[in-house]
Amino acid sequence: MNAVAVRSTTKSIDESRAEIYALFNANSQGGLIWEKLEQAERRVFCFAAELKKSHVDKPLSQFDELERHKLLRAIKSIEQTAKQFTTVSLQDFK
């Protein structure tokens, strides 16, 4: 019987994940990362995604599906472009 009592109080992974996201005012892993970004970083991503300035201050959960798609596509594009510079030293950056 103790196993049943313990099992009923044990949270699922999804429930635990949802509680963690809620602590940080986010609904997903992406929302959690978005909340942790500095405003300047958000501004760069929103500009690249051609979103409005007002998006910089919004939680990701308030973006519609198209806005989230454009934002994620812009973030991944910036990542791919930035990778080319990871091995470049200041001496080689003229």
pLDDT tens sequence across 50-68: 999 999 999 999 999 999 9
What's the confidence (pLDDT) of residue 12? 85
CA atoms within 13 A on the CB side of 93: 7
- Section 5-15 average pLDDT: 69
What's the confidence (pLDDT) of residue 11? 78
Q: Mean pLDDT over all residues of the chain?
A: 87
Task: Determine the Cα–Cα distance for residues 11 and 34; give it in Å rounded to an integer.
Answer: 26
- Section 34-46 average pLDDT: 96
What Å distances lie between residue 43 and 37, 47, 80, CA to CA? 10, 6, 18
Q: Is the pTM of this model over 0.85?
A: no
pLDDT band at 8 (very low <50, low <70, confident <90, very high): low
What's the confidence (pLDDT) of residue 18? 64
Which of 41, 35, 45 lies closest to 74, judged by CA?
A: 45
What's the confidence (pLDDT) of residue 29? 85
